[in-house]
Chain A
Amino acid sequence: MPKNKTVFEDCDVLVVGGGMAGTGATFEARHWGRNLKIICVEKANIDRSGAVAQGLYAINCYMGMQWGENQPEDHVRYARNDLMGLVREDLGYDMARHVDSTVHMFDEWGLPMMKNKETGRYQREGKWQIMIHGESYKPIVAEAAKKSADKIYNRIMITHLLKDEENENRVAGAVGFNMRTGDYHVFKAKAVIIAAGGASHIFKPRAVGEGMGRTWYAPWSNGSAYALPIAAGAKMTQMENRIVLCRFKDGYGPVGAYFLHLKTYTQNANGENYEKKWYDATKKLVGEYIDHHPTPTCLRNHAFIQEVAAGGGPIHMVTKEAFQDPHLETVGWENFLGMTVGQAVVWASQNIDPKYTNPELTTSEPYVMGSHATCSGAWVSGPEDIAPDDYFWGYNRMMSVEGLFGAGDTVGGSAHKFSSGSFTEGRLAAKAAVKYIEDKKANNIKVSEKQYNDLKEVIYKPLENYTVGRNEITGGTVSPSYISPIQGLQRLQKIMDEYCGGITNNYMTNDNLLKKALELLDWLQEDLENVGAEDYHQLMRAWELKHRALTSQCVTEHTLFREETRWPGYYYRGDHMKLDDENWHCLTVSRRDPETGKFTMEKKPVYHIVDDKEKKKAS
């Protein structure tokens, strides 16, 4: 047994992860659960953690119902269209009807919102986006969580969930370790809300040297959002729906404000509009989806990828016209400084002044997450007033494991929620978790000493692997007995890249490649028993890797199951290149058996909010 001190905490609501969703959950839980003990556990420091750590220059999900700008069903149609028909419309509607109240709170709390001088309304960047000076977005929402929580634990990585001894399908808390002290932390809880991050770095990134960390999504988003529920036997959905981003080259600086507010546009190396060149070929793959407005994100990527493969690159963003306006020039730069400083560094280093040079764009490596133009995540219950029966089992945002809730990247099917929607989803999950406790659904939970002591052995094993293995060799990084976290990570990235639709294969995969990926991932899983960590920092990297590897297995199983190319531009099934609405207009759902590690797959129906106009069109 490792000698590390064990610290116990008994609580009612445990929030795992203190990013946008976790701060929302922690904040709201207090309103409904006045006398409950509410704990939030964060891997980093809640003041600067999660995807919004460095800030945001826009809130990408705001209805503007107070001015009649949009209604929740409009947002559902938008998300449905962008994801090629497949989203959980009950979850999307539910998020959208509440999101404005979240944004209004941010405004009251001091988040600087830009205003339209003529109308006095929030300054729109696009139909759904509003512009902010959001450098301190995260510290502001962190403050709200701190005021609600009984305690916030920073620098603790949660590695496993605890299960009730009497009911193996009920959650009982979570365990992890403090990467500074090495202490082992056992959190017993009545309800657990997973609000951890999606997954960067499961596919090989374009930058592989010192710049490896300059991924689009934060390098600290290591897929705990998925690995924790998957390992506990919770059902997952749409895990094949990874996202590829079209962004400014190397820095992955955002393009939203450029397209929508600055009205810049893209062209190929010869100054041509390449998107229309690929219209007919794309129509053969996806049919009328290419005629939808706005063009789905994946299909715009598709045109980009085809054009580059055909030799039309590099693709440029035409900025020279817009940047002649000093106001727009300022917006263009501050957009980066507020959320992706690295892009400003790339441009400064390469003398790229968009006033005089049209900057280059690229398509990124794939990411798995649930809050952007993609919706991978856990299969959760919808809200009781609107969710169809197939989508409802008692508590909003509760997974298929009792007492286990999700929000933000964790929740599958609710795309396009972004920062404000993730915070909102945290609020929804928190209210439901409190109701679950008040309904006495969490009584008599039992956790044995054996359960958490066994996990303690497992968690610290990488330290022992290293200590023992290191004595065999004179020095260096090559051992016959262990691999380091970075070595394991690069192996994972190579498998996913080459077999599961990464950049070097131009996002292409097929049945044979995916089966090979599963074989290689199984061996990787076995070898991860032998990952070696020199210190607690590396122990964190080891567990991040294990979470990424489990997420990757699930992604690969889903990608194998869906025998069509639903989202060309995100990935291609070369053996099934066409979109197939007849067989695959459905949600994919998986469950991994915690005992055997085997995945089972099933199809679940898609329910659309349908009005008469749409009925006519479909018939």
Chain B
Amino acid sequence: MSTFVYMTRCDGCGHCVDICPSDIMHIDKNIRRAKNIEPNFCWECYSCVKACPNHAIDVRGYADFAPMGHSVRVRREEEKGTISWKIKFRNGTEKDFVSPITTKPWGKFIPKLADGDKPNQGEINSQILYNEPHGLNTDKDLPTLDKNSFKKGVYY
């Protein structure tokens, strides 16, 4: 599939241009709306579809192998923390799915490490990473090996 943009719904806001990982959603200077400038570099990742506030972007299966008449629509709602999908087959069969996208308010539980506890003296020379070994939840030290357990040769 590749993305395309409905003329009457797009207001040229550029959210899709900003998010597209492949840099293929661009604003057309004449019509001042978004368009897919390079459909053969579209991964159908739906990043632009999800980002469009006007639901102006849709997808039509790749011309090489997808018969027409299908659709896969999505609505991603950050406030509700869900993503909803509607799949419509060429023969009219429909399927609906809803999944969570997060369990916490956006970004609130991600630490700002610059404000956190500084590493203890000497930890830079140890093998532990941030929040270790505590974050392994094992009540043990970080696992290690005796260097001598490495042997050259063919072992299965």
Shortest B5–chain A CB gap in Å is: 16
Interface of B, helix, strand, loop or mixed by DSSP: loop
Complex Cα spacing A219 to B114, Å: 35
CA distance A304 to B22 in the complex (A): 32
**A101-B45 in contact (CB<8A):** no
> How many residues from B make CB contacts under 8 Å with A?
88
Does B23 lie within 8 Å of A292, measured CB to CB?
A: no
Cα separation A255 to B60 with both chains bound (whole Å): 24
Contact call A431/B87, Cβ cutoff below 8 A: no
Is the beta-carbon distance between A48 and B19 smaller than 8 angstroms?
A: yes
Known: A211-B40, A428-B129, A617-B156. A333 touches B144 (CB 8 A): no
Given A34-B114, A213-B40, A345-B70, A386 and B150 contact (CB-CB distance below 8 Å): yes
Q: Which residues of B contact A211 (CB under 8 A)?
A: 40, 62-66
Tell whether, in the assembled complex, residue A353 and residue B63 are in contact, meaning their CB atoms are under 8 Å apart. Answer: no
A190 to chain B, nearest CB (A): 15
Known A135-B101, A219-B41: A342·B151 in contact at CB below 8 Å:
no
- Inter-chain contacts of A344 with B (CB < 8 A): 72, 85, 87
User: Which chain A residues border B105 with CB–CB below 8 Å?
Assistant: 110
State in angstroms the CA–CA spacing of A147 and B109 once bound together. Answer: 11
Could you tell me the distance in whole angstroms from the C-beta of A382 to the nearest C-beta in chain B? 10
Name the one of A30, A338, A434 contacting B99, with C-beta atoms under 8 angstroms: A338
The answer to the question of A136 belonging to the interface, with a C-beta cut-off of 8 Å to chain B, is yes
A31: which B residues are within 8 A, CB to CB?
Answer: 113, 116, 119, 129-130
Instruction: Note all chain A residues with C-beta closer than 8 A to B112.
Output: 147-148
A interface bracket (residues with beta carbon within 8 Å of B):
35 or more
Q: Which residue of A lies closest to B2 (CB)?
A: A210
Given contacts A209-B40, A351-B91, A427-B129, contact A44 B23 (CB under 8 A): yes
Which residues in B have their C-beta under 8 angstroms from that of A427? 129-130
In the complex, the answer to whether B103 meets A353 with C-beta atoms within 8 Å is no
List the 3 shortest-distance A-B pairs measured between CB atoms, nearest first.
A211-B62, A110-B104, A54-B45
Beyond contacts A208-B64, A345-B72, A350-B67: 16 other A-B pairs, Cβ-Cβ < 8 A, are: A54-B46, A97-B143, A100-B135, A104-B136, A110-B110, A135-B83, A140-B102, A140-B110, A207-B62, A337-B74, A345-B1, A345-B59, A348-B87, A349-B69, A385-B144, A617-B155
User: Residues of A with Cβ closer than 8 Å to B?
Assistant: 27-28, 30-32, 34, 43-45, 47-50, 53-54, 65-66, 71-73, 81, 85, 89-90, 93-94, 97-98, 100-101, 104-105, 108-112, 133, 135-136, 140, 143-144, 147-148, 155, 179, 207-215, 218-220, 250, 288-289, 292, 330, 333-334, 337-338, 341-342, 344-351, 353, 383-388, 424, 427-428, 431, 434-435, 438, 537, 540, 581, 585, 605-611, 614-615, 617-618
